[in-house]
Chain A
């Protein structure tokens, strides 16, 4: 039952993430296909690719196939987690620049950001090595009761919260003050997604207490959070493509 919930939710995420990323890369209008990767807006496409990859390699069939190639047992999980963390970092940079948040930028990019990502990746790797995981298990679910795996999961959640935390304040501000209603909605969606993600990190002791059976329920929170963020980003892309700001925020003098 839990496995089916996981596969269904991961598949839905893949359809959403993969679909929007594919659309972004192959769209005939801006951004211009794969060339978008070379521009600042390419950060989003890159984020989509990384996040989709993280979800794809976590699918049981693909996971088992990759395990045959990867030298370390459950090394695929390490790849998925590094992809996901890098995607979060890209998202963080993207939004920090857009919302002009110096604090968030200071945390995510530069030496501090690189060190944080490096430590998180190293931590995930060390805890994977330290754990006893002989059989392939996506997200290390089969070994969720091992302390090393618990720390492994927590590192990913903590890194995500580290990136998203400083962005909450500018997002909240924009979700209330953006002159465009659609913009407020988009910021609100991203804010909800971030809040859910940070909420899961803070509730991690509760997740540990609930035991491995509750893992999928908490994992659903992450999926909902990702969906909210992706939909929020899509809403901004929609607003840009349709020039909603120009259409809705009229500076015409006519009162006809």
Chain B
């Protein structure tokens, strides 16, 4: 889902921003034809709104909150929970921390978390971190997405901004955090301190760290099994038919 073309035009006028496609193209870094098409088709991606906002020096979150789909975006504290932050730490980094806790001389702690997000499975990990019950079904229902398609989106790290905000809305967490997770806004724009992941990792209790690693490894095991099955199926079929 994206914002409508007419809403986008009205927003530009209200904010005193030019409606010229070439100027908008220059602000967003997109080709003017692309921007023109988005407006003409009445389907302007949130990334274009954010790009324009950045270009003219408006807070992207304030800009998005001007649209009815996101009007409550800034109604809750922006900062994420520790679980949300940790969901964006790759399991390889989690395991480095675990090794460090076993033997700090042999395995010195990394100053920085090595693997950036989004990483493989980071959207799903974030949903798991904010899930208070049935968040997937709620998001599917409220955004009109087929539940199976939502599962696929989560597996492929393709959660959309509106789905992320809806998920946060139903689970009562920061509505901005989801936009950071899906990569629409930067950590800085979402009020995530630069070392937020390192800090969250460092203060994590041993039992929580082990449990989180275990969850991630279970997920990794399932994913590897699925990939292996997919490979075997595709190879078998190509061998049999070809």
Contact = CB atoms under 8 A, between A and B. Distances in A.
B76 interface: no
A244 interface: yes
Interface string A219-249: 0000000000000010011111100111001
A180 B238 contact: yes
A186 B241 CA distance: 10
Interface stretch (B59-67, B155-163, B197-205, B228-236): B228-236
Contact of B231 (A240, A246, A253): A246
Interface string B217-242: 00000001001101101110111111
B234 A240 contact: no
Query: In the complex, which of the residues B92, B120, B240, B242 has the most CB atoms of chain A within 10 Å of its own CB atom?
Result: B242
Given A179-B234, A251-B231, A240 B239 contact: yes
Interface stretch (A3-11, A58-66, A90-98, A210-218): A90-98
B115 interface: yes
Contacts of A245: 231, 234-235, 238
Nearest to A97: B240
A95 B238 CA distance: 11
A253 B235 CA distance: 20
A239 B231 contact: no
Nearest to B226: A179
Contacts of B234: 178-180, 183, 239, 245, 249
Given A180-B234, A255-B115, A255-B120, A98 B240 contact: yes
A99 B233 CA distance: 10
Contacts of A237: 241-242
Query: In the complex, which of the residues B227, B231, B238 has the most CB atoms of chain A within 10 Å of its own CB atom?
Result: B238
Contacts of B241: 94-95, 98, 186, 233, 236-237
A236 B227 contact: no
Nearest to A240: B242
B237 A178 contact: yes
Interface string B72-96: 0000000000000000001010000
Interface string A176-218: 0011100100100000000000000000000000000000000
B119 interface: yes
B231 A236 contact: no
A241 B233 CA distance: 16
Contacts of B233: 178-179
Contacts of A238: 242
A255 B227 contact: no
Interface string B12-24: 0000000000000
A174 interface: yes
Contacts, number: 59
A251 B115 CA distance: 19
A158 to B, nearest CB: 25
A233 B235 CA distance: 14
A249 B231 contact: yes
A98 B237 contact: yes
B240 A179 contact: no
Interface string B166-184: 0000000000000000000
B222 to A, nearest CB: 13
A23 to B, nearest CB: 13
A253 B115 CA distance: 14
B47 to A, nearest CB: 24
Nearest to A180: B234
Contacts of A250: 227
Contact of B238 (A94, A183, A251): A183
Given A178-B237, A246-B235, A255-B115, 9 more contacts: A98-B241, A178-B233, A179-B234, A183-B237, A236-B242, A237-B242, A245-B231, A251-B227, A255-B120
23 contacts: A94-B241, A97-B240, A98-B237, A98-B240, A99-B237, A174-B237, A179-B233, A179-B234, A180-B238, A183-B238, A186-B241, A233-B241, A237-B242, A239-B242, A241-B242, A244-B238, A245-B238, A246-B235, A249-B230, A251-B227, A251-B231, A255-B119, A255-B120
